[in-house]
Structure 1
Amino acid sequence: MEPPIEVGADLRPEVAVRLASQGVRLLWRDDFPAARRLLAAMGKRLPTPAPDFYRYRQARRNRARVLGMVLVEVGPDLRVDLPRAPDVTAAFRAAGGAPGLVPLTELLGMLSAYEWRVKGVPVAALGARIHPHYGVFAPTRQDYVSLVTRAPLSRVRTAFDIGTGTGVLAAVLARRGVPEVVATDISPAAVGCARENLRRLGLSQVRVLETDLFPPGRADLVMCNPPWLPGAAHSPLDAAVFDPGSRMLTGFLAGAAAHLTSGGEAWLILSDLAELVGLRSRSDLLSRIEAAGLRVADRLDAPRRRHPGTDPLAKARSQEVVSLWRLHP
C-alpha cells in the first residue's frame, strides 16, 4: 500500500474527492475542525444515491470508501496531536481501537458511540436508560421494544432472547416478571454490553452467554429480533441491519421448535422493510415459518413511523410495519 500524502486546510474538497476516489490516502496535518469541514464538503460533492435500492447501497459503500481515505494519526498515548482536537482517549479505548493512522470517519463514529454509551438511550418500557457500546446497535427506535411490552405473556418461567445486542429485550422480559431469562449473542462486544446493562438495571435473573443462536435446553418462550434485511454487512453496525443469506432468521426458525417446552411459544420480531425494497416476499417468510414446523398463532403490529429523507430506504421506512409474530409448533 502506498504511503498517505500529508494534507491540510489548503486542500480543496473537489481535489480531495478526486484523489480519494483514486485510492490515495490523505493524512490530515492541520486544524481538527477543518478536517470535519472537509469531510462535509467532500460528501456534498459525491454523487446522489440512485433511487434503486441496490444502486443506493452501492453508492453508500462508495461514499464510505472515499470519505474513509481521510486519515488522522492517533498516537501511542491514544491522543490526536492536532490543533483543537478533542480528547479521544476514552472513546478510542472503549471501542478497542489501536494507535496509528485511523480514518476520520471511524474516529468520529467512535466519539459519537461513546457519547451514547455515557449518556445512554432512554427506554420508556424500562423507565431507565440502555447504554450501547461501539458496534452494538442502539435501541434508539422503540417500536419493536413496545411490541415485547404488550405481547401476551402468561405462565412463562423461562425465556431465551436470541441475538440480544444491548440486552434491552431481555431486560423487558425480566421486568415483566419472567423468572429466568437467557440472552445470547455471537458478538463479544454485544455480550459485554448486555451484561453491563443488565447489571446496571439490577436484573440478576438474566444470564448472558456468548454463543451462536440457542443456548442448551428448552424455554417456555424463545424470542429473536434478527437483522431485518437480507444482504451483506459492510460494517459492524451493518451487522445489526443486514442478515447475509437470511442466516439468523433461518437459524432461529429452524431451531425454535426444538428449544421450546410443551406449550411454548416463539416470538419473531421483524419489519416488512425487506418486502418493501424487494429483498424478500411475504410468501417467502411464511414458507420459511411453515418449513420450520411452526404456525402463526397471532401477529402484533407497531404503528408506522414517519421517516425524513428522500433516499429509497427512507421512503420505504415511511410505509414500514414492524411486527411480532407469535409462532407455535
Structure 2
Amino acid sequence: MAVTDHHAGDEPTGPVPQPRSEWSRRWGRYRRNRLAVLGLGIVTIAVLMALTAPVLAPHGYADINPGQEFLPAFSPDHLMGTDLLGRDLLSRLIYSLRTALFIAVAAELLSLAIAFAVGLAAGYRGGKVDQWLMAGTDVMYAFPGYLFAVLLVAVMGRSTWAVILALTIASWVGQSRLLRAQIMRLKTLEYVEAGRAMGATGFTLVMRYMVPNALGPVLVSTSFGIPANMLAESGLAILGLGVAPPVPSLGTMIIDGYRFVLTDPGLIAWPVGIFVLIMLAFTWVGDGVRDAFDVDES
C-alpha cells in the first residue's frame, strides 16, 4: 500500500494573514507623516483640556483678585501669572481654548450638515434642482465670507451661538460644491449603476454607495476647516465682535495683551503661543489626512 509523503513545506504552518482593510491602509499612510502624528497628539491633548476645563483650571476664568495684577509667571498660585484685573492666565487660557474649539467644531459640523443637504441634492438630482441650488451657492460664494460673518455678528449681537451661526453661514458653500462634484462623479460609476439596476432606492444609492466614497475629500476639507474657524473666531474677537465678556477667547486675550506688550509681554506671548501651536497642529493633521486619502499614494 502506497504511503503518501507529506512535506512540512506543503501546508501552512500558521494562520493565514488577513487582508488589511481600506481604513487600516489609510491609517498606515497617515502614520508615515510624523508631523501629522505629532499634530494629532497635540490636538488630542487640547481637546481633553477643553473637555476637562472646570477640573484643570485652578481658578475661575472671571475671578478678579485685587492687589494681584500683573503677577509674573511662576508666581505662587498663578503658574502663568495674572492679567490687568488679577485674573489667572492659565485658567483663562484653558477656557479660551475650550471656547475656540467649541465654536470651531460646532460651526464646522453645522456647515457640514448644510453642505451635505445641498451637495447631495444638487449632485444626485441634477437638472432644475441642481441649477437652483448652485445659483444660491454662487451668490453666497461671490460674497466675502468673513465680511458676511462680521455683518451677522454685528446684527445678532455678541454671543457664542451668534459667532457659530455666522461662521457656519460663511463657510458651508465651499464644502457643498466639493460634495456636489464628488456625487456627480460617483453616480456614473459602474457599481452605482449596478445597484440601481438591482432596484436600490435613491436614498440607498446615496447613503450606501456614494457618501462613504465621497468622505475622503470632505474629511480633508473638515480638517482644514476647523483651524480656519478658529482663526476667524479670533479675528472677530480682535475686532470686538467675538464672544461677549466675561467668557474668554484667544482673540480677546491677544488684543488685551497687546496693550501691555512692552510692560508685560507674557500677557500676549502665552495666548499667541498657544494659538500658533494649535493652528500648526491642525495643519499637520490636515496634511496627514490628505496623505491618507491620496489615491495616488501606494
TM-score range, shorter chain: under 0.3
Highest CA radius of gyration, 1 or 2?
2
Relative contact order (C-alpha < 8 Å, sep 6+): which is higher? 2
Normalising by structure 1, what TM-score?
A: 0.22
